[in-house]
Amino acid sequence: MSKSSKKQFWWNNAQYRSLFFQVLLVAMVAGFFWFIGSNTLHNLEKRGISTGFAFLSQKSGFGILQSLIPFTDADSFGRTFLVGLLNTLLVSVLGVIFATVIGFTMGIARLSNNWLIAKIATVYVEIFRNIPLLLQIFFWYFAVLRALPSPRQSWSAGELAFVNIRGLYLPQPLFDDGFGYVGWTFVLAIVATVVIARWRKKRQEETGQQFNIWGAAFGLIIVLPLLVFFAVGSPLSWELPVLKGFNFRGGVTIIPELTALLLALSIYTATFIAEAVRSGILAVNSGQTEAASALGLHKSKVLKLVVIPQAMRVIIPQLTSQYLNLVKNSSLATAIGYPDLVAVFAGTTLNQTGQAIEIIAMTMGVYLTISLTISAIMNWYNKKIMLVER
């Protein structure tokens, strides 16, 4: 007994062996980082680059094409970071909305019993899915939007909105005093609707009595704020874009870079969303639909209560990863000069300051934070709706 245990070498013991491998791994990774660290310190010293985040408070000295917050060239590099971040978020949020709408429409259209519509949707998906996104962005920006007329020959929609090579010009709403009341009524109405919805669900579960929430929601969220709006004397006016000299002044301007990026991002991502929607709906067993109809549920109820909840289980994870892809792909903006985080911060700011490590780390940090946050939320949601198996 003791003889045989003496013969056993430590590397035949799984526990020691795994400990040994892990210590070795840690040592290798630590050595790698030490190697990089010492090289970096040496190289930075040699090039005379100081490290640290002091550059964020320095004056930037360059202008930015589009900014959601006031920005001039006298502002700091820290503010360029913020401007870029907001522009990235703007195009991502708009892109997610458009891509979802197009994607769901096309996904459902592919399953349509109308042969022609299903084929058109298939052709759309197969064409745009297999062409690189960057090429699509270039196509919209350089080939399509550059072909638009000059400001003097703008296309107009009833003198309210104008389209030309410089961008899309829309009327801008101007909020006067008292509009705050309308806004607050709107917020309160949404809160009240949520409370009613909860009460409705609870009552239905306890007593079986149903309550049609749509009327109440419409009255609270739409009619009530409108009444308040007229009661306080219509505190809203519109500023129209007007052609002055060589360009339009006033109103809201949507720059062609944003339009091109948005078109390409939503059309490209929508093809993947369409596939997710299609696979989700196909994943619902036809027996489910048949059983639901056999129970006498109306067609719309079958869809709402049986098909969609089950399809969503398949769709949501794929949808999330497509949303994340869209946010990450919005960084292609830098190729056409839309001032997103990568273009403004990892591009111009990096060139002006030379603080490569800090800037790339901050940029990557932003995307990592967005990715990890969205996937954490989606994992939580996924667990919540996951099929509880017996």
Partner 1 sequence: MTVHITTPTADKAPPASSVGVMGWLRKNLFSSATNSIFTLIGLVLIYKIVPPALNWAFFTADWVGSTKGDCTSEGACWVFVIVRIKQFLFGFYPPSEYWRVITSFSLVGVLVAWLLIERTPKKGLVAAFTVFCYPIIAYFLFYGGSFGLPVVETHKWGGLMLTLILATIGMFCALPIGIILALGRRSSMPIAKTMSIIFIEFWRGVPLITVLFMSSVMLPIFMPETWQFDKLLRALIGIIFFQSAYMAEVVRGGLQAIPRGQYEAAEALGLSYWKTTFFIILPQALKMVIPGIVNTFIALFKDTTLVLIIGLFDLLAVVQAAFADPKWLGFSVEGYVFVASVYWVSCFSMSRYSQHLEKKLNTGHAR
For residues 261 and 90, the answer to whether their CB atoms sit within 8 Å is no
The C-alpha atoms of residue 103 and residue 126 are separated, in whole angstroms, by: 13
Least distance to partner 1, CB of residue 356, Å = 5
Token digits of residue 308: 């969609």
Instruction: Decide whether 123 or 227 has the Cβ nearer to partner 1.
Output: 123
Least distance to partner 1, CB of residue 370, Å = 8
For residues 345 and 80, the answer to whether their CB atoms sit within 8 Å is yes
Instruction: Decide whether 169 or 345 has the Cβ nearer to partner 1.
Output: 345
Least distance to partner 1, CB of residue 223, Å = 30
Least distance to partner 1, CB of residue 301, Å = 20
Instruction: Decide whether 71 or 268 has the Cβ nearer to partner 1.
Output: 268
Instruction: Decide whether 25 or 93 has the Cβ nearer to partner 1.
Output: 25
Instruction: Decide whether 74 or 116 has the Cβ nearer to partner 1.
Output: 116
Least distance to partner 1, CB of residue 35, Å = 9
Closest C-alpha among 142, 138, 85, 141 to residue 344: 85
Q: In Å, how far from its chain's centre is CA 167?
A: 23
Binding site for partner 1 (CB under 8 A): 18, 21-22, 25-26, 29, 36, 39-40, 42-44, 46, 112-117, 120, 126-127, 129-135, 138-139, 142-143, 146, 328-329, 331-332, 334-335, 342, 346, 350, 356-357, 360, 363-364, 367-368, 371-372
Instruction: Decide whether 132 or 173 has the Cβ nearer to partner 1.
Output: 132
Least distance to partner 1, CB of residue 30, Å = 11
The C-alpha atoms of residue 83 and residue 225 are separated, in whole angstroms, by: 33
Angle of helix 115-129 relative to helix 256-283, nearest 10 degrees, comes to 120
Instruction: Decide whether 142 or 238 has the Cβ nearer to partner 1.
Output: 142
Least distance to partner 1, CB of residue 213, Å = 27
Instruction: Decide whether 292 or 370 has the Cβ nearer to partner 1.
Output: 370
For residues 339 and 87, the answer to whether their CB atoms sit within 8 Å is yes
Instruction: Decide whether 56 or 370 has the Cβ nearer to partner 1.
Output: 370
The C-alpha atoms of residue 167 and residue 154 are separated, in whole angstroms, by: 10
Cβ neighbours of residue 64 under 8 Å, at least 6 residues apart?
71, 80, 83, 84, 339, 344
Burial class (CB in 10 A: 0-12, 13-18, 19+), 268: buried
Least distance to partner 1, CB of residue 175, Å = 36
The C-alpha atoms of residue 336 and residue 66 are separated, in whole angstroms, by: 13
Least distance to partner 1, CB of residue 264, Å = 12
For residues 332 and 261, the answer to whether their CB atoms sit within 8 Å is yes
The C-alpha atoms of residue 164 and residue 152 are separated, in whole angstroms, by: 8
Closest C-alpha among 94, 91, 144, 125 to residue 267: 125
